[in-house]
Structure 1
């Protein structure tokens, strides 16, 4: 579609939204970020930029089917019965379809693997999904195959009656070496795509952590902090991006985290990241423990970090 702005004012996304009521501001922001909006033939990428006079062309892609389709994606299955399935999710796989990740998700893989047995309580976009890991976080996830398991697992997660531990490789190390981070987390006022620690509003967020290994520790007592660390984190709540936000708030962001990892690691650490081939945040969901919502059996699953993190840790240990 095409629109002419003669004398616009303010932000581009807001001006286009006013001129095109059929498209929401959020939808326009996504289209701009995806390179689908141009002015006088020049592709635009920043919706927050000031709107300028000109002819704007908006390429709106056709609407995708609402129902995710089964895809024959290999899964590492740790446990499966008639009610639930536990998998070791690889980094790079989104939990469920979303803008920018419509295919190749865990839901697509589960629909193929489980067929019609997958629980539908979560809605057509995310059947069986009772919790999620960020797309670029690896590790243990559970999904419901029956409605009674879905209801039971959802209740466990809501009550935080789940054991969840993560391994993170961080820039520097949080101080003290063992502690609890207790804040409120909500949407950042400056960037709605990010989460942030808030003074008011948001939701309670609690993470327990312990520094397991410190890498490249200065020889001089009382010198600067180590260049990097391996940190174990246990979730007491499950907020979006909780561990990433909490470690960054302690001045020890997760290595490879382009969203919350403000500041650059030391040269030696950057070299290790490149050599290890790490192109994501170095965060792995290592442990998931819960009581089976149908059988009552206590289940606990633990997996080691994948090769990119394992290799990076070895390189950091050699610094």
Structure 2
């Protein structure tokens, strides 16, 4: 019985279920009323049950028709999605896209980017790798990534780099530190405080600028440890070792016992850089890059309020 039901039957049924009027439904599908009624009757005969109650004044769904409507909606929606996927998979817009990202960018920005990208490329499989800047650049050089989202670093000549957003800084402080009670920190607050810093070899732009600012403001924190990525820094803060100054988006890696406070350091920001091959790349890669830039510049949930409540 199922093999005798054709796709047109389902579409005709869906239109009549919506219009509940044979004349309007026939006009919608573009045939005259008599053959349209015959198609509905044929569907009911092949199913062995009535789907509509008909009187001279009204048309209504039977209980079986109501239940069948639910399945029809699922079937047709699935079919449309399958057609879209098949078309994309059989064209140059299928395949995979391999994206590397520092974890704060992956946590805050990428979800919205991926949602928009999937609407354009439903058949493309996107692999996201949360990695440090240096690890991403190594993978780019070995052609294991199509696009990287990193902090500023020394970019190989075979790639192009573009700053896609700037973010301010925040201080990650253990809740037992008296400074955690302040709503906002100043550079002077760091004087004689135990601090942990990014390792010199990482080479992030704001890390070097932060060290320069410490010297410029003539303060002397106690450097008690170093770290190579945001999670390592927050781990040290959570242990009570010291304070870390991090990009605002680092709050996505919140750990028990760690609070974040804004800190204004003139001329020091954390840049997020997009790296792509210098050669011509697939359209899906350039479209992904365009979507990312739009989201990064218009949707910035990492921004910390400057009137954060005291704890």
Using structure 1 for the length normalisation, give the TM-score: 0.28
Higher relative contact order (CA 8 A, sep 6+): 2
Between Structure 1 and Structure 2, which shows a larger proportion of helix residues? Answer: 2
From the CA coordinates, give the structure whose radius of gyration is larger: 2
Using structure 2 for the length normalisation, give the TM-score: 0.28
Between Structure 1 and Structure 2, which shows a larger proportion of strand residues? Answer: 1
